[in-house]
Amino acid sequence: MYQKIAAVISGSILVGAGINAFLVPNHLIDGGMIGIGLIIKYIWGYQTGFTIICLSVPLYIIAFLYFRTYFYNSLHGLLLSSFFIDILSPLRYTFSIPLLTSAVLGGFFVGSGIGIMLRYDTSTGGTDLLAQFISRVLSLNIGVIIFLIDGVVIIIGSKTIGLNATLYSAITIFAVGIATSLLTLNKKTA
């Protein structure tokens, strides 16, 4: 139990730091619900973490009805990661790192945070929760599923962030996919 709590807290901090220190300053996006939250932030200025919570409600209703274990295991991940995404927003103004480095480091931080949580059967919710459903049904690696969903979000967000940022965002989701996959290869159950 304490390992799961530590995984949720450390994973959430990594996700929040990755988004705020590396992605937002360079107008990059991740995929999934985080990417959608960032697109909405770039268009309307809404807080990313709060937006992610709002957009995740339909998936949590499905989880509550059909996959109650996932609902309980990921609700705290959603709330904590969203909290850290919003509370760590001052990191946006702390670093000045080249675009390519930011894309890779941002993806590594976010993917590591997600992977740490997934190792202990918890997640940030959103499309991570959807990936858990699909993984359970199709026996596919969660990281691969997240990578595919992320690609779709990047393509959708390309109109908002432009071609250059889209290409670097693709590098970000590649780094997220690698980090998440590596951390979930021999997933523990807690």
pLDDT digits (tens, 9 = 90+) for 15-41: 999 999 999 999 999 988 999 999 999
Q: Let me know if residue 22 belongs to a domain.
A: yes
The 10s digit of each residue's pLDDT in 75-123 is 999 999 999 999 999 999 998 899 999 999 999 999 999 999 989 888 7
Overall domain count for the chain: 1
Q: Let me know if residue 61 belongs to a domain.
A: yes
- Tell me, what's the pLDDT at 62? 86
Give me the domain span that covers residue 110: 2-183
Q: Let me know if residue 23 belongs to a domain.
A: yes
The 10s digit of each residue's pLDDT in 126-168 is 887 787 788 888 888 877 887 788 788 999 999 999 999 999 9
Rounded to whole angstroms, how far apart are CA atoms 92 and 18?
A: 10
Q: Let me know if residue 190 belongs to a domain.
A: no
CB contact burial 29-42 (16+ within 10 A = b; e otherwise): bbbbbbbbbbbbbb
Q: Let me know if residue 189 belongs to a domain.
A: no
Helix, strand, or coil (residue 46): coil
Q: Let me know if residue 131 belongs to a domain.
A: yes
| pLDDT tier, 51 (very low <50, low <70, confident <90, very high otherwise) | very high
Q: Let me know if residue 117 belongs to a domain.
A: yes
Q: Let me know if residue 15 belongs to a domain.
A: yes
Rounded to whole angstroms, how far apart are CA atoms 153 and 139?
A: 23
CB 26 within 8 A of CB 103: yes
| pLDDT tier, 190 (very low <50, low <70, confident <90, very high otherwise) | very low
